[in-house]
Amino acid sequence: MSTNKMWGGRFEAGPAAIMREITPSIDFDKRLAAEDLAGSRAHCRMLANEGIISKDDGAAILEGLAKIEKELAEGSFIFKRELEDIHLNIEARLAELIGPAAGRLHTARSRNDQVVTDFRLWVRAACDRADSGLLALQRALLAQAEKHVETIMPGFTHMQVAQPVTFGHHMLAYVEMFGRDRGRFEDARKRLNESPLGAAALAGTSFTIDRDNTAHALGFARPMRNSMDAISARDFALEYLAACTIAAVHLSRLAGELVQWSTPMFGFVKLSDAFTTGSSIMPQKRNPDAAELVRGKTGRVLGDFVALATVVKGLVLTYGTDLQEDKERVFDAADTLELCLAAMAAMTADLTAQPERMRAACEPGFPTATDLADWVVRVLKKPFREAHHIAGSIVKSAEEKGVTLDKLPLADMQKIEPAITAEVFKVLSPEASVHSRMSLGGTAPARVKEQLAHWKGVLR
């Protein structure tokens, strides 16, 4: 007896069994139930207002939808895979509840405009949730910044000690970063907030519907102007995923710093037991698992963006079942980002900075070498390139003697540049360096306090 290998195993019954597995979307698009009900209510009321269906049928449909909403809330609604998707599941249950009048609800619409309306409503709410999560994280960062306006730590370039900064300034850098992320979700929300409902299958409808009515009933700014674009466009989902990806990258950067800072070698911060785990064989370990998982999940969110972009890139107008692949990617990215935002906000609020370790880390690496060069420019009127060479030679001398710049004897400096005076020592400590950085956006505590005041006003 021969067996078709393609249909072997789970699919011995042949093509019908394969189609029963590949076609249904109810397993994941049931998450659109609330949006589907909202869209159906708006559509029903418009149809009744325009006289396209009778007031009695409209009232019966609305009553049936209310019963379905109650069943969904109570968990008694039965989802059936044979009905493929959330739209047919709700429509079939409506018919069971109110009879033939249920069939009038689908007048002047298609599953094509129905699903994309639902999806836009869902993504719009996801943008709002992302904004809330980012706001909570910004507030946690701001609270840490306020406690550490004067806490000195090394700033790095190329992972080498570069110049002293304050921990408050470092935290505020992320406040700025996540503020831009919030702007991206806000922009995405504005662009997606147009209603495709009424575009029907792709060409519009011959019924005299009022698309402005349904758009405003659902909180959209306006109806979409082109029915073919309304059905086929998924750039709103891509833009949302792009915003998720950039936010996840920023979360990964912060998570990476927390992983690094919490190591014994750095010891800049301590994470509590709530966000660390032990080792199965090494009792001394405190592993920053939450931060590592946030860092790792960035690849997952990026993958969701790439997957949907790949689905959409070759699609001709208007609808193809390929677009059924849009929702799982968006749902996964939303779930992942929202969890990571909650974890990072809680971790940031929970961490304890270690100012002594941060300050001690400013000793090696000569982080005030630029201050020395700047002093030579400002006081001795040397060109910066010459001052840079002088400072580099002095650093080499300090390195050979095993001392920091502010401990190098003046006589040694004067061997390199005789015009240097004892006044130079006023700029060579990390404290002096930090307080001198008074340019707009600088790390000087006075400037950090200005940034704090600004963000307190923004985040109020």
170 is a catalytic site residue: no
279 is a catalytic site residue: yes
Could you tell me the CA-to-CA distances from 150 to 144, 270, 430, 449 in Å, in that order?
Answer: 12, 19, 11, 10
Total residues belonging to the chain: 460
Among the listed residues 66, 61, 59, 71, the one whose alpha carbon sits nearest the alpha carbon of residue 30: 71
Query: Tens of pLDDT along the chain (460 residues)?
Result: 444 444 455 555 667 788 888 888 999 999 999 999 999 999 999 999 999 999 999 999 999 999 999 999 999 999 999 999 999 999 999 999 999 999 999 999 999 999 999 999 999 999 999 999 999 999 999 999 999 999 999 999 999 988 999 999 999 999 999 999 999 999 999 999 999 999 999 999 999 999 999 999 999 999 999 999 999 999 999 999 999 999 999 999 999 999 999 999 999 999 988 877 666 556 565 788 899 999 999 999 999 999 999 999 999 999 999 999 999 999 999 999 999 999 999 999 999 999 999 999 998 889 999 999 999 999 999 999 999 999 999 999 999 999 999 999 999 999 999 999 999 999 999 999 999 999 999 999 999 999 999 999 999 8
Number of Cβ within a 10 Å radius of residue 4:
9
Is residue 181 within 8 Å of residue 388, measured between CB atoms?
no
Could you tell me the CA-to-CA distances from 158 to 161, 362, 374, 433 in Å, in that order?
Answer: 8, 16, 22, 20
336-366, pLDDT tens digit by residue? 999 999 999 999 999 999 999 999 999 888 9
Task: Pull the structure tokens for residue 165.
Answer: 């900064």
Catalytic residue selected from 2, 158, 206, 439: 158
Task: Pull the structure tokens for residue 98.
Answer: 């109110």
195-239, pLDDT tens digit by residue? 999 999 999 999 999 999 999 999 999 999 999 999 999 999 999
Among the listed residues 445, 422, 431, the one whose alpha carbon sits nearest the alpha carbon of residue 375: 422
Residues 387 and 373: their CA atoms lie apart, in Å, by: 5
Whole-prediction pTM: 0.91
- pLDDT at residue 1, rounded to an integer: 40
Hey, CA dihedral for 244, 35, 111, 208, is it positive or negative? negative
Q: Which residues contact 427 (CB under 8 A, 6 or more apart)?
A: 368, 371, 372, 374, 375, 433, 436
With helix as H, strand as E and coil as C, how does the chain read? CCCCHHHCHHHCCCHHHHHHHHCCCHHHHHHHHHHHHHHHHHHHHHHHHCCCCCHHHHHHHHHHHHHHHHHHHHCCCCCCHHHCCHHHHHHHHHHHHHHHHHHHHHCCCCHHHHHHHHHHHHHHHHHHHHHHHHHHHHHHHHHHHHHCCCCEEEEEECCEEEEEEEHHHHHHHHHHHHHHHHHHHHHHHHHHCEECCCCCCCCCCCCCCCHHHHHHHCCCCEECCCHHHHHHCCHHHHHHHHHHHHHHHHHHHHHHHHHHHCCCCCCCEECCHHHCECCCCCCCCCECHHHHHHHHHHHHHHHHHHHHHHHHCCCCCCCCHHHHHHHHHHHHHHHHHHHHHHHHHHHHHHCEECHHHHHHCCCCCCCCHHHHHHHHHHHHCCCHHHHHHHHHHHHHHHHHHCCCHHHCCHHHHHHHCCCCCHHHHHHCCHHHHHHHCCCCCCCCHHHHHHHHHHHHHHHC
Catalytic residue selected from 54, 272, 279, 454: 279
